[in-house]
Amino acid sequence: MPGSHRSSELTWSSTSRISYSEHKYAKCFVIPQRYLFCLLASLIMLNAYSIHSALEVIAVEYFDSDKTTNTSDTCPSTPDTRKQIAKRPRNRSLLVYDWSLETRLIIKDSFYWSRLLTIIPGGFVSDQLGGKYVVTLSVLFSAFCHLMAPAVVDLGAGKVGFVVALRVLNGCFQGVLQSAVLSLLARWAPPSERALMASLVYGSASLGEQIAIAMHKAFMNYTWRPMFYLSAGVHVVFCFVWHLLVYPSHRDNPFLTVREKRFLDEEADESLVEGWKKVPWGRILKSGALWSLGFLQVGSSWSYQVYRKILEWYLPRVLKSGVPWESAWWTPFFLYFWLTIFCGFVADWFVKGNHLSVTTVRKTFALIGNYLTALCLMFVTFEGCNSVTVMVYTTVWLCLDATYYASTLVLPLDLTSNFAGITIGIMWTVENLVIGLSRYVVNLLTTDSRMNSNVPYVVLFTIQIIGISNQQLIDLPSEMKEVLLEISPNFDENLKRAFRNEGVRLQRVQNNGRFIHQLDDVLLSIDDTKIELRNLKFPWIPDFRIVDLSSDLPMSCLDLNLNLGNLRIEGEYEANNTTLRRWLPVSHIGRIVIGFNNVRANGKVGLVLEQDSFVPQNYDIRYEPTDVVIRVSYHVDGENEVQNEISNSDIEATLGKTVWVQLTEILSNLLHRQLGEVVVEFSVTELLVDRDEEYREYAKGQAARANKLLDSLLCSAKDYLVAKDLRTVKTPPFDVVFKGKVSGVQQGTFSTGEGFLQDLATLTRRHSFSLYEDKHKLTIYGGIRLREFKLGYGGYQGQYEETAVSGSIKGSLYKNEIFVKITVKKEGERCSTQLDSVQVVVVK
Domains belonging to the chain, first-starting first, are 2-469 (1.20.1250.20), 475-682 (3.15.10), 698-844 (3.15.10.50)
Q: Does residue 836 have a pLDDT over 60?
A: yes
Q: How many CB atoms lie within 10 A of CB 444?
A: 10
User: For the ranges 47-51, 135-139, 328-332, 684-688, which has the lowest average pLDDT?
Assistant: 328-332
515 pLDDT band, cuts 50/70/90, is low
452 pLDDT band, cuts 50/70/90, is very low
- The pLDDT of residue 458: 45
User: For the ranges 240-244, 350-354, 437-441, 780-784, which has the lowest average pLDDT?
Assistant: 437-441
Listed as own residue / partner, the contacts of 495-503 with beta carbons closer than 8 Å and 24 or more positions apart are 495/549, 495/551, 495/558, 495/678, 495/679, 495/682, 496/546, 496/549, 498/678, 498/681, 499/544, 499/546, 499/549, 499/674, 499/675, 499/678, 500/546, 502/674, 502/677, 502/678, 503/543, 503/544, 503/674
**Of 106-110, 255-259, 614-618, where does the model show the most confidence?**
614-618
> Mean per-residue pLDDT for 498-515?
67
Sign (positive or negative) of CA dihedral 805, 806, 812, 813: positive
Q: Does residue 841 have a pLDDT over 60?
A: yes
What tens digit of pLDDT does each residue of 357-398 get? 777 788 888 888 777 777 777 777 666 677 777 777 777 877
440 pLDDT band, cuts 50/70/90, is low
- The pLDDT of residue 761: 79
Q: What mean pLDDT value characterizes the chain?
A: 74
Q: By the 8 A CB rule, do 718 and 761 touch? A: yes
CA-CA distance, 434 to 431, in Å (whole number)?
5
For residue 10, what are the contacts with CB-CB under 8 A and spacing of at least 6? Answer: 669, 672, 673
User: For the ranges 286-295, 334-343, 365-374, which has the lowest average pLDDT?
Assistant: 286-295
Q: How far is the first Cα of the chain from the last one, in angstroms, to the nearest whole number?
A: 27
> Mean per-residue pLDDT for 799-808?
78
Rounded (10°) angle between helices 79-87 and 323-330: 80
> Mean per-residue pLDDT for 542-563?
85
Q: Which residue has the higher pLDDT, 580 or 317?
A: 580
What tens digit of pLDDT does each residue of 23-45 get? 555 566 667 878 888 888 888 88
46 pLDDT band, cuts 50/70/90, is confident
User: DSSP per residue over 77-125, as a string?
Assistant: P-HHHHHHHHH----GGGG-S---HHHHHHHHHHHHHHHTTTHHHHHHH
What tens digit of pLDDT does each residue of 92-144 get? 444 445 667 677 777 777 877 888 888 888 888 887 888 888 888 888 888 88
User: Has this prediction a pTM greater than 0.75?
Assistant: no
